[in-house]
């Protein structure tokens, strides 16, 4: 055996070992082997069972919230400098994602002698906004493009982080949240929940915005919105808002509460469900130090008054303040342990800066996944066995060679998936099938070429040599063409198409190695042992 | 063993019947598409919901249809050989879709399920919910249940359910599951019941995202075809690239047409299969082209048509072997691969057959037509047919030949083509 051949053999053995390590590690027992296999080979949700959600973040919500906040602050500033306006400050109401950055605030009736003061207030303290004069007294504020972009990005990253916290709090292993990766869908998130086959509860939980407010109750409860309005002469008092309770038994009540909250969701440090009086479930929360001070001052001066705990615009409970409270509080009114626990979880995870809407939901029950794997696997094995049997009959000894190359190809492909942490999905399996087809093709091409050369009267060694070198060009052309198409599929394709492309590229690269390098080495190995080669089993 | 030792079939002489066959197939596909108003898209592309339900004793599909029809725009489809049915809901607005899905599940359970009598349905929900339900009763029955043990127990039950197509038929069956003692089984019987219908899979795709997916998939494929065209044009000559892409396009069209003819749905998995067949067909065409290119170097005096014919014959055993073997695998998938892979395998089977003959009867004739067109233009419309003096198609091959003599000569006489191709 010559030196060159030894080196090549060493390379092949090394590759095999590295691949096997990637797939099964170094197992000491059969159980460990299986465990390692499961650890290294990640099955996609379509195979393992689980739920995949695509949600669209309603970024316009965040824009509206920012505008509301600005209106609130601006109103105070204008009052401070006694600049009158005709009517309240208002904002428009963008309903869709695309309209989010068309948000604007309208200010009407600024006297012309105050306009320079107004402008300087906006420029100094509301630098994110651009004031435009509509006429001598009316203005509109629009968000600066840079700020608008930043707000979008912040909203997305906050939403992603919050949803991640919620999922982690649910204890769903191996779940993930990520942008969908579609270039023109910047507001979409892909949530993958392996093992979840009944996603209704999780969906509900993720969708809850969980904006908590502790408001002062100014008046109420009323039986209807109209009743409240009538009592206050048709207009709500300044800095108040009407908030409904949840509908219970067909009944709904309304409270008039302070517009600015005493404590918000962001002030909460921890929350937990617990059983309180009469074994009813409730959610206890702990405030941050700063908020606790504020809360203490407020509660001590408001003993006997009512407060409203508002979650996502609905009054959950309206307790009477019994005593001074500093850093802990309770939210009662939960109807079950689950409800109390869900609220606690949402409070811990923090509120979503914008609502989310589900666009796509795919649930594969574990049994359906298991069935499709089992059937696909069985059919795949049957197909491959048929191919191998045929190759062995048709090419005899060289068929062994091709089979070895084929097996090694599969091993490298699986190992690469394991090393890259890629997940194996159905389209990925399509990629593997094409890979196997092309691997068989490469071998057939080479063997047919060698046969041709033998027929043309070449000696065995020369025929093998010519067969390989002539087929090489074809193999490279076919492989590179397919790889080029994969590159485009990867760049422009969506999830499943991408998965196909990735698996195929890995498979093709592996195939170039096995069909050209490994197969050749096996031939050389066989030929090198004999002194005078006169026949080749092909 | 060898199949074709010295094959010498006149493939290109018989190109017309095949080209006409292709045209007929394409036309049939188009007619079917036109009549049915476009391809039958799966909910991946159309938007809607797809619910896979499994029954312990499958009722006749008409009965399922009867239960669900009326209130909802649904289609019910039988999954052959299995206890599953697929219920499809047409595209509708997001929230309506959620409600409709719930309605379907409720109706199915009401009509085909078992009364719960306050017990827990062991065929719904996951291990955690089951554990929550069993914790107290097990403790009450005096069976020690640490959280760890309980988790193992419920996981075993879920595993059993998974291995039995998502449905436990009889609680007594659980005897064979690991870790189930008679006492535990007793508690299970008190607390749970196996419903005879279960939802095993759901796909809900909003209408906007569906349209988006459709657009993206088509675009990705078109870009990929363009990329391949450029690469082949670079490696061979542009007409080769065009011919290969036309052939592949032809295969895809016919396959989509066949999908329409056989009333099969185009889903994302089918798109993956279409991509696979594009790969196969392209592979096949390139192998043939490669042989043509090689022969153009050796047989410089040969007419193009016999030369191509010879190339096809030389690669014939490879073509038949490779296509035959891959077809074998695809057939195995089609016949035994189960419901999920059925559309996928169907596309592969069609694609491999069509893709194989398109290399010979579509891609290669395009080279000849182009060559004839060029020669015709050179000689004038009615010029006498004479042996090819200056090869037009192989121009770049001449330029690629290592001997410096031939390259410049081609380049000089046909500077428009040859010179640019030197690499």
The two three-digit tokens of residue B310, written as one number: 């010879």
B265 and A489 in contact (C-beta within 8 Å)?
no
Interchain proximity A491–B335, CB inside 8 Å:
no
Q: Is residue B94 part of a domain?
A: yes
Inform me whether the C-beta atom of residue B306 falls under 8 Å from chain A C-beta atoms: no
Flag whether B184 is in a domain.
yes
Q: How confident is the model at residue B79 (pLDDT cuts 50, 70, 90)?
A: low
Residues A345 and A431 in one domain: no
Given an 8 Å threshold on Cβ–Cβ distance, is A387 in contact with B273? no
The DSSP code for A273 is E
For residues B13 and A381, what is the distance between their CA atoms, to the nearest angstrom?
40
Distance from CA of A419 to the nearest CA of B (A): 24
User: Who contacts B4 (Cβ-Cβ below 8 Å, separation ≥6)?
Assistant: B313, B316, B317, B320
**Cα(A393)–Cα(B294) distance, integer angstroms:** 30
Q: Distance, in angstroms, between A98 CA and closest chain B CA?
A: 14
User: What integer pLDDT is reported at residue B86 of this predicted model?
Assistant: 64
H-type alpha helices, A25-97: 30-40, 45-48, 59-80
pLDDT on residue B1: 65
Question: Is A200 inside any structural domain?
Answer: no
> Does the beta-carbon distance from A430 to B273 stay under 8 Å?
yes
Taking CB atoms and an 8 Å limit, are A367 and B164 in contact across chains?
yes
Chain B residues inside the 8 Å CB shell of A480: 231, 235
State whether B231 and B279 are in the same domain. Answer: yes
- Please identify, among A132, A148, A164, the residue that sits at the C-terminal boundary of a domain: A148
Longest Cα–Cα distance of chain B, Å, equals: 103
Task: Render A347-364 in DSSP notation, one character per residue.
Answer: HHH---SS-EEEEEEEEE
Q: What is the CA radius of gyration of chain A?
A: 34
**Residue carrying structure tokens 């099955």:** A43
Q: Determine, yes or no, domain membership for B416.
A: no
DSSP state of B155: H
Say yes or no: B60 and B181 in one domain: no
Q: Please tell me if residue B200 touches chain A, with a CB cutoff of 8 Å.
A: yes
Q: In this predicted structure, what is the pLDDT of residue B340?
A: 67
Q: Output the pLDDT for position B386.
A: 44
Could you say which of A338, A360, A382 is where a domain stops? A360
Answer yes or no: do B346 and B368 share one domain.
yes
Give the span between the Cα atoms of B394 and B299, in whole angstroms.
Answer: 11
Is pLDDT larger for residue B359 or for residue B47? B359
The pLDDT tens digits of the residues spanning A200-232 come to 778 888 888 888 888 888 887 888 888 888 888
* pLDDT tens by residue, A403-437: 888 889 989 998 998 888 887 877 787 788 778 88
Say how far apart CA A417 and CA A315 lie, in whole Å: 51
Q: What is the pLDDT of residue B243?
A: 93
Give helix A495-511 / helix A397-419 axis angle, nearest 10°: 130
**Per-residue pLDDT reduced to its tens digit, A54-97:** 888 888 888 888 888 888 788 888 888 888 777 777 888 888 88
Range of the domain at B337: 12-38+207-392
In a domain, B7, yes or no: no
Kind of pairing between the strands at B120-121 and A281-287 = unpaired
Q: A393 to chain B: which residues are within 8 Å by CB? A: 1
Three-state SS at A138: coil
Instruction: Work out how many domains chain B is built from and give that number.
Output: 3
Residue A168 lies in a domain: no
Residues B189 and B326 in one domain: no
Band of pLDDT at residue B392, cut at 50, 70 and 90: very low
B408 pLDDT more than 50: no
B373 in a structural domain: yes
Residue A412 is predicted with a pLDDT of: 92
Domain that holds residue A80: 59-148
Rounded average pLDDT over B292-319: 87
Q: What is the per-residue pLDDT across A380-405, written as a single tens digit (0 to 9) for each?
A: 788 888 888 988 998 888 888 888 88
Name the B residues in 333-372 with CB < 8 Å from any A CB: 333, 335-341, 344-345, 348
Give the model's pLDDT for residue A14. Answer: 92
pLDDT above 90 covers a percentage of chain B that reads 6
Express each pLDDT in A326-345 by its tens digit: 788 888 777 777 788 888 88
Is B280's CB within 8 Å of A368's CB?
no
Give yes or no for B112 touching A (CB within 8 A).
no
Are both B376 and B351 inside the same structural domain? yes
Minimal Cβ distance to A362: which of B5, B167, B203: B203
Q: What is the pLDDT of residues A118-158, one digit of tens each?
A: 888 888 888 888 888 888 888 888 888 888 888 888 888 88
Average pLDDT over residues B200-215: 76
Answer with the residue of higher pLDDT: B398 or A153: A153
Q: Does A128 lie in the same domain as A227? A: no
- Please, what sign has the CA dihedral across residues B398, B401, B406, B409? positive
Contact B258, B333 (CB under 8 A): no
Token readout for A114 is: 């105050």
Residue A184 lies in a domain: no
pLDDT score of B52 = 79
**Angle, to 10 degrees, between the axis of helix A3-24 and the axis of helix A519-528?**
140
Q: Give the closest of B165, B317, B330 to A371, CB-based.
A: B165
Beta-carbon separation of B278 and A485 below 8 A: yes
Residue A185 is assigned to a structural domain of this protein: no
| Arithmetic mean of pLDDT, A462-491 | 88
CATH number, position B77 = 3.30.70.380
* CATH code for position A279: 3.30.1360.200
Q: Do A494 and B166 touch (CB under 8 A)?
A: no
Looking at the fold, whether A320 and A427 belong to one and the same domain comes out as no
Q: Are residues B232 and B356 in the same domain?
A: yes
Q: What is the DSSP letter of A173?
A: T
Calculate what percentage of chain B has a pLDDT beyond 70: 81
Token reading at A410 = 């599969």
Residue A189, H or E segment = strand A188-194
Q: Select from B137, B131, B136 the least CA-distant residue to B150.
A: B131
CB contact under 8 A, A182 and B216: yes
Asked if B99 is an interface residue toward chain A (Cβ–Cβ < 8 A), one would say no
Alpha carbons A526 and A298: distance in angstroms, whole number: 90
Residue-wise pLDDT tens digits, A266-318: 788 888 888 877 778 888 888 888 888 888 888 888 888 888 888 888 888 88
pLDDT for the residue B413: 40
* DSSP helix/strand/coil, A196: coil
Are both A261 and A349 inside the same structural domain? yes
Does a structural domain hold residue B289?
yes
Q: Shortest CB distance from A367 goes to which of B161, B280, B336?
A: B161
Chain B residues with CB under 8 Å of A474 CB are: 286-287, 290-291
Count Cα neighbours of A14 within 13 Å in the Cβ-side half-sphere.
6
Residue A108 has pLDDT above 80, yes or no: yes
B405 has a pLDDT exceeding 60: no
| DSSP SS3 for A242 | strand
Are the beta carbons of A383 and B1 separated by less than 8 Å? no
**A45 CB-contact burial (10 Å; exposed 0-12 / middle 13-18 / buried 19+):** buried
Any domain includes B336: yes
* Contact call for A441 and B318, based on CB within 8 A: yes
Regarding beta strands A104-107 and A90-91, do their DSSP bridges make them parallel or antiparallel, or are they unpaired? antiparallel
Quickly state the pLDDT bin for B406 (edges 50, 70, 90).
Answer: very low
Set of chain A residues whose Cβ sits within 8 Å of the Cβ of B328: 383, 386-387, 390
Cα torsion through A102, A103, A108, A112, rounded to 10: -70
Q: Do the chains contact at B202 and A362, CB–CB below 8 Å?
A: yes
Domain total of chain A: 3
Same structural domain for residues A19 and A39? yes
Neighbours of A353 (CB within 10 A): 23
Check which CATH number belongs to the domain holding A140 and give it.
Answer: 3.30.1360
Q: Which residue of A has its CA nearest to B330?
A: A383
The string of DSSP codes covering A383-404 is HHHHHHHHHHHHHTHHHHHHHH
Same domain, A259 and A350: yes
Residues A119 and A220 in one domain: no
Q: Which of A376, A477, A491 sits opposite B338 (nearest CB)?
A: A376
From residue B337, give the alpha-carbon distance in Å to each of A119, B43, B408. Answer: 71, 21, 57
CATH of the domain at B308: 1.20.1640.10
**Of the residues A148, A181, A199, the one at which a domain ends:** A148
Categorize the per-residue pLDDT at A457 as very low, low, confident or very high, splitting at 50, 70 and 90.
Answer: confident
Nearest to A493 among B202, B216, B340 (CB): B216
Please answer yes or no on whether B220 and A441 come within 8 Å at the CB atom: no
Phi/psi-derived region of residue A171, left when phi > 0, alpha when psi is between -120 and 50, beta in every other case: left
Contact B304, B388 (CB under 8 A): yes
Average pLDDT of B112-136?
78
Which residues in chain A touch residue B269, judged by CB atoms under 8 angstroms apart? 426-427, 430, 496
Quickly state the pLDDT bin for B421 (edges 50, 70, 90): very low
In chain A, residues with a C-beta closer than 8 Å to the C-beta of B283 are 437-438, 441, 478, 481-482
Is-contact A331 A343, C-beta < 8 A?
yes
Same domain (yes/no): B218, B342: yes
Mark yes or no for CB contact B165/A393 under 8 Å: no
SS3 B165: coil
Q: What is the three-class DSSP state of B80?
A: coil
Q: Tell whether A496 and A379 lie within a shared domain.
A: yes
**CA pair distance B85, B79, nearest whole angstrom:** 6
Alpha-carbon Rg for chain B, nearest whole angstrom, is 31
Task: Report the percentage of chain A scoring pLDDT > 90.
Answer: 4
Any domain includes B413: no
Q: What is the ipTM of this complex?
A: 0.71
How far apart CA B281 and CA A205 sit, in angstroms, is: 48
C-alpha–C-alpha distance, residues A132 and A493, integer Å: 43
Among residues A436, A416, A452, A439, the alpha carbon closest in space to that of A519 is found at A439
Beta-strand pair B120-121/B192-193: parallel
Q: Which of A434, A478, A500 sits opposite B287 (nearest CB)?
A: A478
DSSP category for residue B382: T
Is the pLDDT assigned to residue A510 strictly greater than 90?
yes
Question: Model confidence at B411, in pLDDT bands (50, 70, 90)?
Answer: very low
Q: Does B123 reach chain A within 8 Å, measured CB to CB? A: no
What residues of A are in contact with residue B212 (Cβ under 8 Å)? 182, 185
| Alpha-carbon span A443 to A422, nearest angstrom | 28
Reported as a single tens digit per residue, the pLDDT across B231-273 is 888 888 889 999 999 999 899 999 999 988 888 888 877 887 8
CA distance B50 to A179: 24
How many other C-beta atoms are found inside a 10 Å radius of the C-beta of residue A412? 24
Distances (CA, A) of A498 to A185, A487, A489: 16, 9, 6
Is it the case that residue B206 has pLDDT exceeding 80?
no
Check whether B398 has a pLDDT greater than 50.
Answer: no
Pair B52, B147 in one domain: no
């Amino acid at each position: 055996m010559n030196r060159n051949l030894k080196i090549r053999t060493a390379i092949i053995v090394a590759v095999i070992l590295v691949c096997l390590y990637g797939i099964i590690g170094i197992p000491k027992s059969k159980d460990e082997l299986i465990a390692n296999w499961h650890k290294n080979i990640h099955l996609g949700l379509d195979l393992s069972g689980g739920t995949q959600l695509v949600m669209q973040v309603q970024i316009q919500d965040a824009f509206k919230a920012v505008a509301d906040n600005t209106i609130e602050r601006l109103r105070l500033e204008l009052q401070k400098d006694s600049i009158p306006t005709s009517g309240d400050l208002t904002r428009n109401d963008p309903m869709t994602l695309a309209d989010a950055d068309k948000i604007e605030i309208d200010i009407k009736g600024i006297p012309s002698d105050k306009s320079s003061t107004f402008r300087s207030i906006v420029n100094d303290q509301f630098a994110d906004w651009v004031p435009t004069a509509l006429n001598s007294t009316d203005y509109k504020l629009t968000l600066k493009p840079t700020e608008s972009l930043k707000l979008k990005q912040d909203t997305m990253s906050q939403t992603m982080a919050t949803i991640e916290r919620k999922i982690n709090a649910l204890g769903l292993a191996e779940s993930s949240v990520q942008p969908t990766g579609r270039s023109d869908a910047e507001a979409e998130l892909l949530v993958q929940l392996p093992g979840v086959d009944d996603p209704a509860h999780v969906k509900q939980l993720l969708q809850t915005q969980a904006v908590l407010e502790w408001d002062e109750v100014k008046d109420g409860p009323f039986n209807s919105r109209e009743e409240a309005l009538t009592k206050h002469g048709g207009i709500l008092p300044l800095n108040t808002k009407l908030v409904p309770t949840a509908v219970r038994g067909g009944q709904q009540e309304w409270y008039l509460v302070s517009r600015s909250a005493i404590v918000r969701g962001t002030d909460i440090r921890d929350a937990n469900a617990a059983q309180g009086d009469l074994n009813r479930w409730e959610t206890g929360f702990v405030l941050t130090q700063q908020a606790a001070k504020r809360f203490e001052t407020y509660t001590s001066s408001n003993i006997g008054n009512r407060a409203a705990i508002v979650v996502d615009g609905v009054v959950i409970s309206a307790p009477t303040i019994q005593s001074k409270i500093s850093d802990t509080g309770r939210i009662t009114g939960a109807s079950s342990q689950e409800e109390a626990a869900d609220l606690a979880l949402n409070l811990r995870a923090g509120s979503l800066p914008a609502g989310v809407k589900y666009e796509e939901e795919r649930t594969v029950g574990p049994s359906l996944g298991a069935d499709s794997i089992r059937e696909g696997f069985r059919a795949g094995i049957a197909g491959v066995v048929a191919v191998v049997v045929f190759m062995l009959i048709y090419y005899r000894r060289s068929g062994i060679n091709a089979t070895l190359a084929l097996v090694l190809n599969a091993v490298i492909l699986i190992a690469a998936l394991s090393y890259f942490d890629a997940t194996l999905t159905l389209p990925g399996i399509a990629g593997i099938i094409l890979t196997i087809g092309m691997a068989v093709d490469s071998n057939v091409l080479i063997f047919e070429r060698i046969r041709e050369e033998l027929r043309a009267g070449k000696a065995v060694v020369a025929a093998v040599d010519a067969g390989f070198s002539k087929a090489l060009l074809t193999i490279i052309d076919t492989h590179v063409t397919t790889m080029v198409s994969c590159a485009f599929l990867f760049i422009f394709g969506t999830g499943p198409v991408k998965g196909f492309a990735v698996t195929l590229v890995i498979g093709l690269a592996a195939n170039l190695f096995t069909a050209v390098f490994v197969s050749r080495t096996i031939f050389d190995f066989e030929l090198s042992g004999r002194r005078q080669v006169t026949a080749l089993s092909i | 063993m060898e199949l074709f030792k010295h094959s010498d079939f006149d493939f290109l002489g018989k190109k017309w019947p095949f080209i006409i066959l292709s045209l007929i197939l394409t036309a049939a596909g188009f007619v079917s598409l036109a009549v049915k108003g476009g391809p039958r898209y799966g909910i991946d592309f159309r938007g809607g919901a797809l619910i896979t339900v499994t029954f312990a004793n499958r009722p006749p599909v008409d009965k399922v249809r009867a239960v669900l029809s009326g209130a909802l725009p649904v289609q019910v489809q039988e999954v052959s050989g299995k206890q599953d049915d697929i219920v499809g809901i047409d595209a509708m607005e997001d929230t309506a879709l959620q409600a409709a899905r719930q309605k379907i599940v409720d109706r199915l359970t009401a009509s085909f399920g078992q009364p719960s009598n306050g017990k827990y349905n062991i065929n719904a929900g996951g291990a955690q919910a089951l554990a929550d339900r069993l914790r107290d009763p097990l403790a009450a029955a005096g069976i020690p249940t640490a959280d760890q043990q309980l988790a193992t127990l419920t996981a075993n039950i879920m595993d059993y359910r998974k291995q039995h197509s998502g449905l436990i038929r009889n609680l007594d069956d659980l005897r064979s599951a690991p870790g189930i003692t008679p006492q535990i089984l007793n508690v299970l019987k008190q607390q749970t019941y196996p419903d005879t219908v279960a939802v095993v899979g759901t796909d809900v795709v909003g209408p906007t995202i569906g349209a988006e997916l459709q657009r993206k998939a088509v675009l990705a494929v078109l870009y990929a075809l363009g990329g391949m065209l450029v690469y082949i044009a670079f490696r061979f000559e542009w007409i080769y690239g065009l011919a290969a892409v036309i052939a592949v396009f032809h295969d895809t069209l016919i396959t989509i047409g066949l999908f329409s003819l056989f009333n099969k749905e185009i889903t994302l998995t089918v798109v993956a299969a279409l991509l696979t067949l594009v790969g196969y067909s392209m592979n096949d065409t390139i192998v043939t082209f490669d042989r043509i290119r090689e022969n153009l170097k050796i047989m410089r005096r040969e007419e193009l048509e016999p030369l191509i014919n010879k190339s096809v014959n030389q690669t014939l055993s490879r073509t038949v072997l490779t296509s035959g073997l891959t077809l074998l695998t695809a057939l195995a998938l089609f016949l035994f691969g189960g419901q999920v892979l059925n559309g996928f395998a169907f596309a592969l089977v069609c694609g491999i057959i069509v893709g194989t003959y398109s290399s010979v009867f579509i891609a290669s004739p395009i080279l000849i037509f182009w060559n004839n067109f060029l020669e015709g233009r050179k000689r004038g419309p009615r010029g006498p047919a004479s042996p090819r003096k200056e090869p037009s198609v192989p121009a770049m091959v001449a330029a690629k030949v290592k001997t410096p003599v031939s390259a410049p000569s081609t380049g000089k006489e046909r500077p428009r083509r040859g010179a640019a191709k030197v690499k």
